[in-house]
């Protein structure tokens, strides 16, 4: 079974400055020496802004084209979320969209389901209602965005997922929640979990400590970093994951239920 190399990029984000952020991440990506997946934070080109009318792009826009170029240049999948135009017939025609792009240009997307009510994200963005399951290099991967992490029913491993990815702008004042919930999702879903968060202050003077992390299928912390910019590549083992699942088939005993 093939191991998978994943690279987490934890960084500050310059508020609503797409050009600066893309240039910065491009330098980070060029410094990576071989990987399978590159993970960027939530709204990595702008920060977590509630001004989508000023910042939204299309899936043919500059940021997505940049992601395609980075994926091709590094021969790695690249992912993170962007502010993207949604259904124009909806009251809020924008989405917080996770975008996954492979080296061959293939794109898959997931729209954030749990919109952060404390900053009225639901008054600026449409809610997504569909999960995304990605098949890549014989791994099954499922992405989520920030606030989704708090809701285990939505994040439940119903598709034999090997790796869950969470991209975020998660404030430092709730960092214990972030770390605890990432670990919990790994344990309950018997899968690897990678969480990539930003650092620094946003334009609302909210500080982010990062705490980007990787946990294994048993909840063991494999990597974490706080407060500093960091590019970190780690290899995860599908053989070890399936050996653990064979010995502890917890997912086989899960209850069946459906969302109403």
User: What SS3 string covers 47-100?
Assistant: CCCCCHHHHCECCCCHHHHHHHHHHHHHCCEEEEEEEEECCCCCCCCEEEEEEE
Is 65 catalytic? The answer is: no
Written as six digits, the tokens of 147 are 């606030």
> Would you say 67 and 9 are in contact if contact means Cβ atoms under 8 Å apart?
no
CA 100 to chain centre: 9
Nearest alpha-carbon partner for 77 in 131, 136, 10, 28:
136
Residue 42 is among the residues annotated as catalytic for this protein: yes
- Asked whether the beta carbons of 48 and 7 are under 8 A apart, the reply is no
Catalytic site residue 146?
Answer: yes
Catalytic residue from among 28, 79, 121, 146: 146
- Which of 81, 92, 26 is closest to 59 using CA atoms? 81
Q: Of residues 18, 74, 97, 112, which has the active-site annotation?
A: 112
Q: Which of 18, 28, 42, 57 is catalytic?
A: 42
Phi, psi of 254 (to 5 degrees): -70, 150
E strand or H helix that includes residue 237: none
Distance CA 198, CA 196 (A): 7
Query: Within a 10 A sphere around the Cβ of 101, how many other Cβ atoms?
Result: 25
> Of 87, 147, 82, whose CA–CA distance to 120 is shortest?
147
Query: 107 forms bridges with which residues in the sheet?
Result: 101
Catalytic residue IDs: 42, 112, 146
């Amino acid at each position: 079974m093939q191991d998978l190399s994943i690279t987490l990029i934890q960084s500050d984000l310059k508020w609503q400055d797409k050009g600066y952020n893309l240039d910065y991440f491009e330098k980070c990506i060029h410094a990576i020496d071989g990987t399978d997946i590159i993970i960027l934070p939530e709204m990595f080109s702008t920060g977590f802004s509630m001004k989508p009318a000023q910042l939204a792009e299309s899936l043919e826009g500059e940021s997505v084209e940049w992601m395609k170029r980075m994926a091709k240049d590094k021969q790695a999948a690249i992912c993170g979320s962007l502010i993207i135009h949604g259904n124009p017939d909806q009251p809020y025609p924008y989405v917080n969209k996770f975008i996954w792009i492979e080296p061959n240009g293939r794109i898959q997307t997931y729209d954030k389901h749990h919109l952060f009510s404390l900053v009225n994200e639901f008054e600026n963005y449409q809610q997504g209602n569909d999960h995304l399951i990605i098949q890549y290099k014989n791994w099954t991967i499922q992405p989520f965005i920030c606030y989704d992490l708090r809701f285990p029913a939505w994040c439940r491993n119903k598709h034999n997922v090997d790796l869950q990815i969470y991209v975020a702008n998660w404030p430092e004042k709730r960092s214990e929640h972030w770390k605890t919930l990432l670990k919990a999702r790994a344990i309950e879903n018997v899968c690897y979990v990678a969480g990539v968060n930003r650092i620094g202050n946003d334009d609302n003077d909210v500080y982010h400590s990062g705490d980007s992390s990787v946990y294994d299928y048993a909840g063991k912390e494999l990597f974490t970093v706080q407060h500093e910019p960091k590019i970190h590549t780690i290899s995860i083992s599908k053989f070890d994951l399936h050996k653990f699942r064979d010995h502890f088939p917890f997912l086989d005993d899960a209850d069946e239920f459906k969302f109403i």
